[in-house]
Amino acid sequence: MPVSQTDKIVTISLANGSSAVIYKYGATVTSWKAPNAGAQTPVTERLFLSSKAYLDGSKPIRGGIPIAFPFFGPPSREEDKKMGQHGYARGEVWELLRTVMDNEAGVSVKFGLHLPEEKRTQYGFDYDVRLEYVVTLSVHELTTHLVVHNDSEKPLSHQALLHTYFACDASQVTVSPLKGLTYLDKTRNYAETVETRDEVDVRNYTDAVYKDAGSDFDIKYPGGGIHIHAKGFKDAVVWNPHAEAGRAIADMEEGGWDKYICVEPGMATYWNEIPAKGKWDGQQVLKTL
């Protein structure tokens, strides 16, 4: 069946073997399998999931595509101090709302999250917000689309980011085009730097936040790659902790940093304001090369 579910996961699949797995906890996509574009190649896993990831709902999932909302990184505003890293969205159980599409073009499912009042109080989050997340699978593509509805009587200032872990050999992967962009180098105390490389690699510890990064990026590695088309996000984060920082991550497998690159469209250097009763949406379209 194109859409199947258990109490914890939703699986969507196509006749050619392409598939995606989404955990209801965090609405986190943990697997995306697809062939290379334009060639008769077998379906291949495109996302990295740590073998030490918590899949029991006790902690956000390490790998796949976690959702950062209503902020990126550790809480920097006083009002967010009761929430953990990257906000609450990746640490709550979402509801599968419905199948949006199921035809020859692909299959699409919609998830929703609406915090009850007691949860909003727990998080110190004084807003009535509904989140919707649509995951769409076609033969060579995976689209993840986040919609934020601010049902409050006041504006909401927020960030959001899709923290995608792409499976690859980290020693051979590159990302482009980022040349000429200004970025914050978090490995050097947020030093502001201009990118000079035609193709950015992660052969060293990398944690870079590119500002006004554009909407299209190519991740290339031997035997394939991924094209990212982003909408609604101005920034892009490129991250790989290497052993230098990776060993401090409790749910990261030993050597896991050798197996992925994170390229993350999002709001990381700025805050977006949604008016009362308004909405915002952002998405990424991932396509195999």
What does the DSSP 8-state code read for residue 39? S
Q: Pick the catalytic residue: 141, 195, 253, 264? A: 264
- One-letter identity of residue 73: G
CA dihedral 133, 175, 258, 44 (to 10 degrees): 60
CA distance 101 to 105: 9
- Alpha-helical runs (H) found in the chain: 117-123, 242-246
Structure tokens at 227: 């094209």
Active-site residue, 78 included: no
Active-site residue, 264 included: yes
Residue 275 CA: distances (Å) to CA of 49, 132, 156, 231: 36, 17, 6, 19
The Cβ of residue 134 has, within 10 Å, a number of other Cβ atoms equal to 19
DSSP string, 244-269: HHHTT-TTSPTTGGGGEEEEEEE-SS
Residue 2 preceded by cis peptide, ω within 30: no
Q: Pick the catalytic residue: 132, 140, 163, 253? A: 163
- Point out the residues that are catalytic: 163, 264
